[in-house]
A and B are shown apart, each in its own frame.
Chain A
Amino acid sequence: MSLQSLRVAALQGDEAVAEAVRQSDVDVVAAYPITPQTIIVEKLAEYVANGKLRGEFIPVESEHSAMSACVGASVTGARVFTATSSQGLAYMHEMLYNVSGMRLPIVMAVANRALSAPLVLNADHSDMMGSRDCGWIQLYAENVEEIYDRTIQLFKLSEDPRVMLPAALNFEGFILSHDKERVRLLEDEPIRRFLQRPRPKHHLDPDEPLTFGAIATPDTYYEFRMQQTEAMKAALRVFDEVEMEFESFSGRRYGAVDAYNTDKADVVMVINGSAAGTMRAAARELNTAGENVGVLAVKLYRPFPLEQVVSHLAQAKAVITMDRSISPGAPSGPVSEDVKSAMQLAGLSMPVLSVVYGIGGRDLAIEDGKNIFGLAKEGSSFGSSTLMYGVKV
């Protein structure tokens, strides 16, 4: 595709999701509005109403019903999408396991938002981290164009016969959901070709009735979960193929991880979500001033790209992990736990500074990034406890 044929638009993250869903020829959308994801649902309802998306929009009375309707639609072989945030995702929790257990390739956008109480509308990752083990592919986007691209890519990844797992695209509420950024939109036709697929192996047909997710016993349930685990491993391999094919017509590729200066850096910071860009800017400023630091953005969180992560940490003298969620009572946040566990498996034993930041929408600026790198350099904050960065004391 030539650059001339790209439409450049200023889009909010939510709008970018809706546009990508429209171009992905989704058959059924069942969703319930919740801030800060509401724009997605409004846009999709509008697209269906004015004929821009030839699919069904099912208005439902709750997120639990939204995901239930998605399950019903998906078992017919339809391409299905939904979106939610925070309490909505929590309300779907039970259904998330049904979707992954029935191996339905539903794609969901999650405009990440912290959970009540106290009532809060702003971003952190605790909604998705609360459902981390639900068996869904989980990806954290960093900017609006990536949100647009990833929405399209996740349909391809989920529907691959080697994968057949649902996928959640995460991006921080307001910071990305409502931020208007420049997006180079792709044409409909190459996306349509990219997402062509045969009808799934199993789909409901009145003439040949099927039961999905039939009862298992202690004799078989473990084996079904083993299948999901293996499908996650397959998803890690298929992810590269999907990105390569997407790049062939879009010219854009992100990777499962994005590494800045990790091959030389003394200190490498591991982070996911929108703050990765801010931390990269902080690292660049520090490096210009003679420091030597790097940033590793983990885009694909489940399946966790273990080998890629440890390969970027191997030469560092110290590692910083950044968590935008709190796991009360745990040794550290979920990202930190994953990184430390990956390091242990790879035989890496450099000190790790576990940091929690950005809770409930608290900003993380370039100066904050410099401060955190500074603390790691001093080594004074390395210890058994997690650093609650920016909390008012």
Chain B
Amino acid sequence: MSWKQLEEGAVVKGGTSASYIVSGWRVKRPVINEAKCTNCLICWIYCPEPAIVRHEGGKVTIDYDHCKGCGICETECPPKAITMVSEP
């Protein structure tokens, strides 16, 4: 993009990161074993990104567009229901 087209001061609307994919550098991804998961939400509390998504009824899934692959959820999960798996 030409320098003439960019917004001066790099000013952008707030709250736009939800619409961006910011996980391009992830090496390993967390995968939830639903059979082991107790819906305790410890992973939801510890995730430094809002990348653990709560659903009605307590079920959790991963938002892979925002998960950076840090692995904290795997470490903290009490029933060991989350495993970090290498990205293809």
| CB of B35 closer than 8 Å to a CB of A | no
| Known contacts A223-B2, A223-B3, A224-B3; A209/B13 CB under 8 A | yes
Contact with B1, one of A101, A164, A212, A223 (Cβ below 8 angstroms)? A223
B21 CB within 8 Å of chain A: no
Give the chain A neighbours of B3 by CB distance below 8 A.
222-224, 226-227, 230
Q: Is the CB of B2 within 8 A of A212?
A: no
A223–B10 alpha-carbon span in the complex (Å): 10
- Is the beta-carbon distance between B11 and A224 smaller than 8 angstroms? no
B residues in contact with A231, CB < 8 Å? 8
Of B1, B10, B11, which is in contact with the most chain A CB atoms at under 10 Å from its CB? B10
Bound CA span A250–B50, Å: 58
Name the CB-closest residue of B to A104.
B9
Number of interface residues of A (CB under 8 A): 23
Contacting A at CB under 8 A, from B1-18, are 1-3, 6, 8-16
Assembled-state Cα–Cα distance A223/B2 (Å): 7
Report whether B14 and A213 are in contact in the complex, using a CB–CB cutoff of 8 Å: no
> Does A216 belong to the interface (CB within 8 Å)?
yes
Contact of A212 among B6, B11, B15 (CB under 8 A): B11
Please judge, given known A-B contacts A223-B3, A226-B3, A227-B3, whether A102 and B13 are in contact too, CB under 8 Å. no
Cα A390 to Cα B46 with chains together (Å): 65
Give per-residue flags for A207-243: 1 if the beta carbon is below 8 A from chain B beta carbons, else 0: 0111111111000101110110011000000000000
Which residues of chain A are within 8 angstroms of B15 by Cβ–Cβ distance? 209
Cβ–Cβ < 8 Å partners of A302 in chain B: none
A101 in contact with B9 (CB, 8 Å) = yes
Q: Is A324 an interface residue (CB 8 A)?
A: no
Q: Which residues of A contact B10 (CB under 8 A)?
A: 101-102, 211-216, 224
Interface mask (B17-55 → A, CB under 8 Å = 1, otherwise 0): 000000000000000000000000000000000000000
Q: Is the CB of B11 within 8 A of A214?
A: yes
Give B27 Cβ to nearest chain A Cβ, in Å.
Answer: 20
A226, B4: Cα distance in complex, Å: 9
Contact with B along A70-85 (1 / 0, CB 8 A): 0000000000000000
The minimal Cβ–Cβ distance linking A342 to chain B, given in whole angstroms, is 25
Q: Are B14 and A224 in contact (CB under 8 A)?
A: no
Q: Does A252 contact B (CB under 8 A)?
A: no
Q: Is the CB of A209 within 8 A of B6?
A: no
Q: B8–A211 contact, CB under 8 A? A: no
A150 interface contact, C-beta 8 A? no
Closest to A226 in B: B3
Binding site for B on A (CB under 8 A): 101-104, 164, 202, 208-216, 220, 222-224, 226-227, 230-231
Q: List 21 A-B contacts (CB under 8 A).
A: A102-B10, A102-B11, A103-B9, A164-B8, A164-B9, A209-B15, A210-B11, A210-B13, A210-B14, A211-B12, A211-B16, A212-B10, A212-B11, A213-B9, A213-B10, A213-B11, A214-B11, A220-B1, A220-B6, A223-B2, A223-B3
Kindly list 12 other residue pairs between chains A and B, CB separation below 8 angstroms, not including A209-B15, A223-B3, A227-B8: A101-B10, A103-B8, A164-B9, A208-B14, A210-B14, A211-B12, A212-B10, A213-B11, A214-B11, A220-B1, A220-B6, A231-B8
Q: Which 8 pairs, one residue from A and one from B, show the smallest C-beta to C-beta distance?
A: A209-B14, A223-B3, A103-B9, A226-B3, A202-B11, A102-B9, A214-B12, A214-B10
